[in-house]
């Protein structure tokens, strides 16, 4: 293999990092065409490193990568998007952490990652734009729940909200039953005798359907009453944990911040 074949260029989104050796850092990145990749940034922890500022968490960076025996090595790094504004808001940082944790959890090496790449960048750009705006909410309305459902659809775990999982008839405007294990909804006739189902009220089902089927430009205009929003949050977080078979860390951080915000508002 000649030198040209051993060196490649790629764009990347930094999802995770950990320190290795004395001055190096191992980065877990999402790429448009290679899926999730681990790359070694040699010497990046040195104060004289020119790459350090380009490979922070959440950054969109252009890389030149050299093939190596254990981990491929980053030889050049240039910032494309820093998402500077979201870094100035704790709420936006928490939301960005949530986005990259889920992308990390649902992506493997050699995946067809272009749709996931575009979704992740859209979410971070929206968070950054919202954080930069004056008199705007810390996190764009309904963004994370919309992101959840788009990610589930792209990853092959899209829950069924329009037809009964058993009889496949269209769901009627009434209380139906959701199954975490089966990933969708049963009509009352098919679900009433099954174990492990939970009632799904009509208003909640309508919101879930809208988030799943509409582009974000429409979802951003949607006003959701707080009790319904919390029910949607709970259902999707529990479904994510069921699919991944593990507990996610970032939703807890988001809930703590939300609780702090409610406490400050009450005071």
State how far the Cα of 149 lies from the Cα of 209, in Å rounded to an integer: 10
Is 3.40.50.720 the CATH number for 85-266?
Answer: no
- pLDDT over 80 at 249, yes or no: no
pLDDT of residue 153: 96
- pLDDT over 80 at 144, yes or no: yes
Return the residue matching tokens 């009964």: 164
- pLDDT over 90 at 257, yes or no: no
> Where do the H-state alpha helices sit in the chain?
3-6, 90-106, 114-132, 143-154, 188-191, 202-213, 216-219, 226-244, 250-266
State how far the Cα of 62 lies from the Cα of 64, in Å rounded to an integer: 7
- pLDDT over 60 at 267, yes or no: no
- pLDDT over 70 at 41, yes or no: yes
Q: Determine the average pLDDT of the residues in 236-240.
A: 94
- pLDDT over 80 at 29, yes or no: yes
State how far the Cα of 86 lies from the Cα of 131, in Å rounded to an integer: 5
Q: Quick check: do 3-81 and 85-266 share a fold?
A: no
State how far the Cα of 143 lies from the Cα of 41, in Å rounded to an integer: 32
pLDDT of residue 16: 93
State how far the Cα of 76 lies from the Cα of 14, in Å rounded to an integer: 15
Identify the CATH number of the domain defined by range 3-81. Answer: 2.40.50.140
Q: Where are the domains of the chain?
A: 3-81, 85-266
Stretch among 125-134, 161-170, 233-242, 253-262 having the lowest mean pLDDT: 253-262
Nearest C-alpha neighbor of 105 from the set 255, 241, 256: 241
């Amino acid at each position: 293999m000649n030198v040209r074949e051993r060196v490649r260029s790629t764009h990347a989104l930094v999802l995770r990092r950990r320190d290795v050796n004395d001055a190096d850092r191992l980065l877990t990145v999402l790429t448009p065409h290679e899926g999730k990749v681990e790359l070694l940034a040699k010497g990046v922890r040195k104060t004289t490193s020119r790459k350090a500022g380009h490979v922070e968490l959440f950054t969109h960076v252009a890389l030149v990568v050299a093939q190596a025996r254990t981990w491929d090595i980053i030889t050049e790094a240039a910032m494309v998007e820093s998402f500077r504004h979201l870094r100035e808001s704790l709420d936006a940082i928490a939301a960005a952490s949530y986005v990259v944790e889920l992308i990390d959890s649902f992506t493997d090496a050699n995946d067809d990652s272009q749709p996931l790449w575009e979704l992740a960048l859209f979410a971070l750009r929206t968070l950054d734009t919202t954080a930069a705006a004056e008199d705007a909410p810390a996190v764009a309305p309904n963004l994370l729940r919309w992101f959840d459902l788009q990610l589930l659809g792209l990853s092959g775990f899209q829950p069924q909200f329009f037809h009964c999982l058993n009889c496949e008839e269209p769901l009627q405007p009434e209380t139906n039953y959701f199954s975490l294990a089966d990933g969708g909804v049963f009509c009352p006739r098919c679900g009433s005798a099954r174990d492990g189902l939970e009632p799904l009220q009509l208003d909640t089902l309508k919101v879930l359907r809208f988030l799943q089927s509409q582009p974000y430009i429409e979802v951003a205009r949607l006003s959701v009453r707080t009790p319904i929003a919390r029910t949607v949050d709970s259902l999707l977080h529990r479904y994510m944990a069921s699919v991944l078979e593990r507990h996610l860390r970032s939703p807890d951080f988001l809930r703590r911040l939300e609780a702090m915000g409610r406490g400050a508002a009450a005071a």
